[in-house]
Amino acid sequence: MNTIAEHIADFLKKYPPFDNLSFQELSEIATSIRVVNLEKHKTLFQINDVLHDSFYVVASGVINLSIIADAEETLLNKCVAGDIFGLRPFFAKNNYMMTAKAREESIIYAIPIATFRPFVANNSEVLDFLLHSFATNTSNPNDMENIGGKLISDNVYYSNQQSEMQYFQLLSYNISPLKVAITSMVQEVAQQMTDSMTNGAIVSKDNYPIGIITNTDMCSKIATGRFPITTTIDRIMSSPVVTVVENISLAEAQLLMLKNNVTHLCVTKDGSDKSDIKGIISEHDLIVAQANNPGVLIKEIKRSQSPKDLKSIRDRLTNLIQKSIHKNVSISNISNIASEINLAIIKRSVELSILDLGSPPARFAWLSIGSQGRKEQLLLTDQDSILIFEDVTADKYRDVKDYFLKLGKRTTAILEKVGYEFCPNGHMASNMLWCKSLTDWTKQYNNWMNTPGENSNEISSIFFDFEIAFGEQKIEEAIENIIFNNVKNNALFFDFLGNDALRKNAPLSFFKKFIVEEVGTNKDKFDIKTRALMPLIDGARLFSLSYNLRGVNNTFMRFKQLAIIDPRNAEIYLNCSEAFLTLSKIRTLEGLKNDNSGQFVNLQELSKVDKENLKNALAPMRELEELIKNKFQLTQFS
């Protein structure tokens, strides 16, 4: 073996995933590696370039990876010695989606994918490393400290949360594939494939798959003259078939194709070749599925020009949520993705309003409050928002406020067209009560927190759950500072908030029966929002404020953090966090089924298991109630 290849093998052995391969295997790979010298600022590949036949490892120097978003070049990552990049050819057939450029003089090892593929297929650790990195788009999954040897995905969109969606994003594929008998002649099958405009057919017996035939087989085995056109299909089919279950995700399908070096997968009822054929997945289906990736949705939102555009994207999100729940993806993961997309829609609605009205006369922040402020808005519920503009001189105040009220009205009207109904309580930035200067908001929060109950019809605890959707981060921070300065030794405020949390109606009767609505359109239904979710949301907010827990608004995450801050009661908090997820899932399913907010659950339609799950999820509430009474010394409802 030559010394250069030996030197390369020695180098690779230090970094994942190569450290999972033997020196013998690495030496074999190293003999076909090309060494590329890149001068400073030289580009190796750029966005939309046709894919190379290799992926790359940095031997020395620094490579910058960047994407173009909104006409700006955004640096995604810096790759240093041992880092892998340019993996896109492994996973996709479309062109590069990023640019790789040398920041300084660099030496790169180009590893041919054809050489490396068999080592991936035979080594689950190497495959897992690629799978995990491709699916989550994190740096080196084995080494969250990023000490070196990161794996940079070329499947970049915007944030980790969006690209992890690939790991559970479901595929649409051909559910009525062309099926042919093993005794069919190649000529007949070729004609059938042409007639049905498909590039693959499943060879079946008793509706079980025994082989797959593709255009590639026709070209490589028939067109080249290796077999006559009159031969039977079993002579040229690929067998055994790679079979998968019905709800396979995009990333899983891509990796199975990679692992088995195939271009088609057969979907069967139980995922084995001994069960009924349900469909066929082609490489083309994977490329189409990538267009529904959340990152792509966010890109489309940024380019949207009308409420109609935004509505069609929001409809696709609903579809994504439904499929993800069907695939048993954790509801907290789905909430993360949904909240990013909801937030992007709100932000674009504000931008479209500004494009109509002209530039704002002062700096401002648009905050989502309530469920979207907590990143919990999976369904199309009503909109809640506030607008805070910076302080201006008295003579300008009126004109400035007029502009922002117009902005509020326009934006909430756009959001209503997208499908978010107006808030029935008027908690929106279009309401002059909730669109005002930072000084006015400071007074508002001071009043609420220091003299609670005096204007109790005005205070709503949702004003303590917010997330900036557009504007100045510093304004949001200013509001956060006012809140946390006011919670110190503020027994009166916690007394008020604690009693408010305890006042929510009990979900179960003394005899453990669900308490349902007695009158109205929702008669005999269970109000899962008011009786089950709100007590948990209120409890999590109450304890988070009292423990000075900043920057965490999500109920599930609040309970997780509280378990760390207050370990003596960790079990109660963790039970509450799980209960919250269960209840959210039941509500979301109800909402998707009835195309509404899912607030009222028809218990008659729940399965016995779901009813049991619902009842079990209500159990931690009693403990949470006791904890509130003890911590804030609340004995009775005031």
- pLDDT above 80 for 247: no
- CATH architecture label of 179-283: Roll (3.10)
Answer for the pair 436, 481: CB distance below 8 angstroms, yes or no.
no
User: Over the stretch 264-302, which tens digit does the pLDDT of each residue have?
Assistant: 999 998 888 888 999 999 887 876 666 556 777 887 888
Residue 164: pLDDT above 70? Answer: no
Please, are residues 497 and 542 in contact by the beta-carbon 8 Å criterion? yes
| C-alpha span between 450 and 445 (Å, rounded) | 8
Q: What is the DSSP letter of 508?
A: B
Give the pLDDT band of residue 544 (cuts 50, 70, 90): very high
Residue 139 has pLDDT above 70, yes or no: no
Provide the whole-model pTM. 0.61
Write out pLDDT tens, residues 313-361. Answer: 888 888 878 877 776 777 877 887 888 889 999 999 999 999 989 999 9
Q: Which helix (H) or strand (E) holds 66?
A: strand 63-69
Least confident of 366-375, 536-545, 552-561, 603-612: 603-612
pLDDT at 531 over 70: yes
| Sheet containing 466-471: order of strands | 435-437, 385-389, 364-369, 466-471
Mean pLDDT over 71-100 rounds to: 77
Return the pLDDT at 281: 92
Over 80: is that where the pLDDT of 505 sits? no
Least-confidence region, from 183-187, 317-321, 548-552, 589-593: 317-321
CATH number of the 294-486 domain? 3.30.460.10
Q: Alpha carbon 265 to chain centroid distance?
A: 25
pLDDT tens-digit map of 12-62? 999 888 888 888 899 999 999 999 999 998 999 988 889 899 999 999 999
pLDDT band at 547 (very low <50, low <70, confident <90, very high): very high
Does domain 3-164 correspond to CATH entry 2.60.120.10? yes
Please check the confidence at residue 64 and state whether its pLDDT lies above 80: yes
More confident residue, 378 or 91: 378
Spell out the SS3 assignment of 74-105: EEEEEECCCCEECCHHHHCCCCCCCEEEECCC
Q: Greater confidence, 170 or 238?
A: 238
pLDDT of residue 257: 82
Token look-up 């899912």 returns 598
SS3 26: helix
pLDDT at 499 over 80: yes
**How do residues 168-212 score in pLDDT, each as one tens digit?**
456 778 888 999 999 999 999 999 988 888 888 999 999 999 999
pLDDT at 293: 66
